[in-house]
C-alpha cells in the first residue's frame, strides 16, 4: 500500500537550517508529482513547494521562495526539503504528499499524505 | 487564487444534512478538491475534480459547483464525520486551500 514517511523535523534556532525527508513506498515515485504542505499550530494548510514527476519543475510559495529548496531522488523514492534562514513563522507540521489528478500543469491534488514531521523554530 | 469557505464553524447533529461552501476569487474550472482532517491526523482526500469521490469514501459525501462556487454536502452526518473540512484549488501553478470549516457536534 502507498506509504509516505517524513523524518528530520526538530527544534532549530532562528536563522538556522534543516533538511527534512520523505520516504515513499507502494508506488513508483517518478510517476507522480510530490508536494510539501505545512500546517502551523492551530492553523490551516499551505502548499509551500512541489516538484514535478518528469522534468523536475519546481514551484515555491512566496513565503519560502529563496529560502527553501525541494528535491527528489527517484532512485531512492525519496523527497527532500532543505530549509535555510528559518524563522519563527516557519514553525509547523510539514507533510509530504503525492500529487494526483493533475490537469496537465501544476501538481494536482494530494491523494496520499504522510503523518507529518514537526519543525519548531525557536531560540 | 484565494479560496474562501463558509461557514468557519458548523454545529450539527447526527443525521443532519450538511453543506459547506467554497468560493474562489477567480475561476478554477473543475480543479477543486475537498479534504477531511481530524485532530492530530493528516488530511484525507474526499473528492477531486469537483464531484469525483475518492476510492473508499462513503457515498454520503458529494461535491458540486463550477468555476468559482462549490459545495461539499454530507447527506446524513455520522459520528465519524465530525472534523475540519478544507477545499483546495489546483487549477494553477500555485495551489491554495480554503481556511477550513469545522463541523462540530450540536
Say whether B45 and A108 touch across the interface (CB within 8 A).
Answer: no
SS3 call for B71: strand
Give pLDDT, residue A13: 98
End-to-end CA distance of chain A: 40
Q: What single-letter DSSP state applies at residue A38?
A: E
Say whether B94 and A61 touch across the interface (CB within 8 A).
Answer: yes
Task: Please write the tens of the pLDDT for every residue from A28-61.
Answer: 888 899 999 999 999 999 999 999 887 788 999 9
pLDDT in tens, chain B (106 residues): 999 999 999 999 999 999 999 999 999 999 999 999 999 999 999 999 999 999 999 999 999 999 999 999 999 999 999 999 999 999 988 999 999 999 998 8
Task: Please write the tens of the pLDDT for every residue from A100-112.
Answer: 888 878 888 999 9
- The nearest alpha carbon in chain A to B42 belongs to A115
Rounded Cα–Cα distance for residues B18 and B13 (Å):
9
The B-side interface with A (CB below 8 A) comprises 29, 31, 33, 35, 41-45, 48-49, 52, 54, 86, 88, 90-100
Q: What is the CA radius of gyration of chain B?
A: 13
Q: For A21, what's the count of Cα atoms within 13 Å in the CB-facing half-sphere?
A: 9
Q: Quickly tell me which residue has 464525520 as its cell.
A: B81
Alpha carbon B48 to its chain's center: 10
Q: Quickly tell me which residue has 453543506 as its cell.
A: B19
Amino acid at each position: 500500500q502507498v506509504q509516505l514517511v517524513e523524518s528530520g523535523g526538530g527544534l532549530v534556532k532562528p536563522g538556522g537550517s534543516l533538511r527534512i525527508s520523505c520516504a515513499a513506498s507502494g508506488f513508483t515515485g517518478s510517476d507522480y508529482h510530490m508536494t510539501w504542505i505545512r500546517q502551523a499550530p492551530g492553523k490551516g494548510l499551505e502548499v509551500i513547494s512541489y516538484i514535478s514527476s518528469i522534468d523536475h519543475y519546481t514551484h515555491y510559495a512566496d513565503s519560502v521562495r529563496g529560502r527553501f529548496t525541494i528535491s527528489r531522488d527517484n532512485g531512492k523514492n525519496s523527497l527532500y526539503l532543505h530549509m535555510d534562514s528559518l524563522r519563527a513563522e516557519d514553525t509547523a507540521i510539514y507533510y509530504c504528499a503525492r500529487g494526483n489528478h493533475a490537469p496537465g500543469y501544476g501538481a494536482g491534488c494530494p491523494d496520499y499524505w504522510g503523518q507529518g514531521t514537526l519543525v519548531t523554530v525557536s531560540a | 487564487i484565494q479560496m474562501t469557505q463558509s461557514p468557519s464553524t458548523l454545529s450539527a447533529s447526527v443525521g443532519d444534512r450538511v453543506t459547506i461552501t467554497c468560493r474562489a476569487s477567480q475561476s478554477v474550472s473543475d480543479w477543486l478538491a475537498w479534504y477531511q482532517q481530524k485532530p492530530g491526523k493528516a488530511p484525507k482526500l474526499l473528492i477531486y475534480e469537483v464531484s469525483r469521490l475518492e476510492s473508499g469514501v462513503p457515498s454520503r459525501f458529494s461535491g458540486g459547483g463550477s468555476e468559482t462556487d462549490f459545495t461539499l454536502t454530507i447527506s446524513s452526518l455520522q459520528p465519524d464525520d465530525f472534523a475540519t473540512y478544507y477545499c483546495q484549488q489546483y487549477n494553477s501553478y500555485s495551489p491554495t486551500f480554503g481556511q477550513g470549516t469545522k463541523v462540530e457536534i450540536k
